[in-house]
Amino acid sequence: MLHFVNDYSEGCCKQILDRLIETNWQPESGYGFDSFTASARERIRAAIGNPSADVFFLVGGTQTNKVVIDSLLLPYEGVLAASSGHVALHEAGAIEHSGHKVLPIAQKEGKITAAAIEAYVKDFYADPTYPHMVHPGMVYISHPTEYGTLYTKAELAALSEVCRAHSLPLYLDGARLGYALATPESDVSLRDIAALTDAFYIGGTKVGALMGEAVVFVKGAPKGFFTRVKQNGALLAKGRLLGLQFDTLFTDDLYIRLGENGIRTARRLREIFRAHGYRFLIDSPTNQTFVILDNETVKRLSERVRFDYWEKYDEGHTVVRFCTSFATSMEAVEALDALI
């Protein structure tokens, strides 16, 4: 069986596993007051070029979005997000569970524009009944998006500008950030993200860690953030696990190198599909590939390959997602070529 179903099927990268073994019996303080976390925090500050940024380590993506968004909003404020955004659709209402409305913005291939944010805010305050409505309080974007697409530096800068003009914190969900940073076509660096957003998270779970996301507050964390994390049930007792993993990921550019493996294998995979005459739903440059297959091929392939059903295309065709990752071998991709 070949596995392209998602980017969190395996355990972790070799380097993290090695360090887990090596440090297992070293006693450390709990709750993130360990030496690994301190080191990871410094490495991330160095990587983003911002020595005063606040960095916290949480366990998972939905958890991170929930705690961060709730911390950045007042109770009557909502978060502007692409209608296809993870917070809008696939977090079981975690944002609403903390009292906030997700205010959907029309998207194209998972992306939203500065113009759409500008229009939303303008229309909102032009409506005399706005005090009776959820106020726009911040903007959420994902990079890569849920469709694997990327913002350009210019697009990000435009979003940043409109957000600052309206005092809306801009928050970037980087669940798959490693793949974005490793994409040759992308002109957006980690430092750009740190310069253009107010907060973002560097995803570990989908880029080679056992679990973990590093939240960065570029201009300082919301008041009492540690206690907010605890109150949300999101504080890991053995915070050392998160610190150690990010300390490893940010040593010798490992995070980028893991991303590169996902990108390299995805590019080859797309070449193969293209060579076989298949088309794509979206021209995604990152590690997710949305290919349109005839139903016969879907059925035949699924006996030998695990991939993800995405949506019906037409009566005879289906969109399926092939996902590569830090763990995908080029051999597996070539083996797929033989099966198509």
Positions in 80-119 near its own copies (CB under 8 A): 89-94, 96-97, 99-102
Binds its own copies by CB under 8 A, chosen from 166, 257, 264, 306:
306
Nearest by Cα to 96 from 147, 145, 134, 143 = 134
Binds its own copies by CB under 8 A, chosen from 122, 191, 219, 230:
230
Number of residues in contact with its own copies, rule: CB under 8 A?
A: 78
Binds its own copies by CB under 8 A, chosen from 51, 131, 277, 316:
131
Hey, what long-range contacts does 326-329 have (CB within 8 A, 24 or more apart)? 326/7, 326/13, 326/178, 326/207, 326/208, 326/258, 326/259, 326/261, 326/262, 327/7, 327/9, 327/10, 327/13, 327/208, 327/261, 328/4, 328/261, 328/262, 328/265, 329/265
39 binds its own copies (CB under 8 A): no
The letter for the amino acid at 297 is: T
66 binds its own copies (CB under 8 A): yes
176 binds its own copies (CB under 8 A): no
CB 235 within 8 A of CB 206: no
70 binds its own copies (CB under 8 A): yes
Angle at the Cα of 109 (from 104 to 110), degrees rounded to 5? Answer: 40
The minimum distance between CB 74 and its own copies, in angstroms, equals 6
- Binding to its own copies (CB under 8 A): which residues in 249-288? none
- Comparing CB distances to its own copies, the nearer of 133 and 339 is 133
Question: Residues with Cβ < 8 Å from 42, sequence gap 6 or more?
Answer: none
Binds its own copies by CB under 8 A, chosen from 224, 299, 330, 335:
224
Binds its own copies by CB under 8 A, chosen from 6, 35, 39, 295:
6
240 binds its own copies (CB under 8 A): yes
206 binds its own copies (CB under 8 A): yes
Judged by CB under 8 A, the stretch of 39-47, 165-173, 233-241, 273-281 that binds its own copies is 233-241
CB 192 within 8 A of CB 150: no
Judged by CB under 8 A, the stretch of 24-32, 182-190, 251-259, 291-299 that binds its own copies is 24-32
Distance (Å, rounded) from C-alpha 208 to C-alpha 75?
A: 35
166 binds its own copies (CB under 8 A): no
CB 328 within 8 A of CB 265: yes
The letter for the amino acid at 135 is: H
- Comparing CB distances to its own copies, the nearer of 48 and 121 is 121
- Which 8-state DSSP code applies to residue 131? G
The minimum distance between CB 236 and its own copies, in angstroms, equals 6
46 binds its own copies (CB under 8 A): no
CB atoms within 10 A of CB 5: 16
